[in-house]
Amino acid sequence: MTVQSSATERSAIAVSTSRPGGHGILQAALGVVAFSLTFPATAWGLEGFGPWSLVAVRSVLAALIAGGCLLALRIPPPARRHWAGLAVVAGGVVVGFPLLTTLALRTSTTAHAAVVVGLLPLTTALLSALRTGVRPSRTFWAAAVAGACAVAAFTVQQSGGAVTTADLYLFGALLVCAAGYTEGGRLARVMPGWQVIGWALVLCLPLGVPAAWLALAHESAHLSAHSVAGLLWVAAGSQFLGLVVWYRGMAAIGVPKASQLQLAQPLLTLVWSVLLLGEHLTPAAPLTAAAVLVCIAVTQRARG
């Protein structure tokens, strides 16, 4: 059984690495578009739910969607050796990132939070290099660091030189999310990407149900079109469908290069924050987003 499963994993890796790069870039880009709507949708959700309720309920809804798909297709549980990695994915992208960013958005604008999260590509690339041993070229790192520096400068300028509590939440979210992306990208090379996030969501269900019940008991919910739409998007769009194509893209083109596509996410979120939330941007926000966007072309063309 061990020999057969090992052969299956090697075959899966061979298939994933042989996929056309353009196809992988497209899937990862679709994931970025889905993620770019997360902060505006969270802001909508907070109009009717408390932060703890929103995070717990979105996790439960996403887990029910994922579990339904796994049951309908009769997907067997992953091998025991994969559960530790799935736990990292669950802790990072199912629980940690949604909770910390939701807490940050109580006092931070979506525009500010979006640009701070522009540090996520560099964080993910660093953790991926440490975890997998893959070493991108110096050109890649130079472009990634340049984008991160632009984001750091924006953060300091926006906060008047002081780091706020919201920024601390966001920086914590960067670390746990990068860990979840790195481990999920690795697992997506040996199992379909939708199963990676699907099993990670199901893993959180025993904790998510009582957490949702307790949160709703202590935080009153006021349903409205905005709050319901926001909840449904962060549960189905950001938490499940976006991560499905994201992990498939990472498996096809590699975690470091896929991660740098997220440099476009702040720019997209800034657009949504204006169109959906009516926020007014400072000149520094779009300029910073445009600066990090330029770095994408460099990282995608860089060797390795």
pLDDT at 296: 67
Higher pLDDT, residue 47 or 294: 47
Give dist(CA 194, CA 120) in Å, integer.
22
Burial of 219 (0-12, 13-18, 19+ CB in 10 A): middle
Q: Is it the case that residue 2 has pLDDT exceeding 60?
A: no
**Rounded Cα gap, residues 104 and 164, in angstroms:** 10
pLDDT value for 5: 43
Residue 296 is encoded by which pair of tokens?
A: 């994408």
Judged on CB neighbours under 10 Å (0-12, 13-18, 19+), 192 is: middle
Over the Cα atoms of the chain, what is R_g? 19
pLDDT, one tens digit per residue, over 260-287 is 787 778 778 888 888 898 887 777 777 7
- Which residue type occupies 36? S
Residue 162's pLDDT band, with cuts at 50, 70 and 90, is: low
pLDDT for the residue 9: 43
Alpha-carbon gap, residue 228 to 249, rounded angstroms: 29
Q: Which of 44-53, 59-68, 171-180, 252-261 has the lowest mean pLDDT?
A: 252-261
pLDDT at 193: 83
Give the separation between CA 230 and CA 258, rounded to whole angstroms: 26
- pLDDT tens digits, residue range 35-50? 999 999 999 999 999 9
Q: At what angle do helices 242-253 and 2-18 cross, to 10 degrees?
A: 90
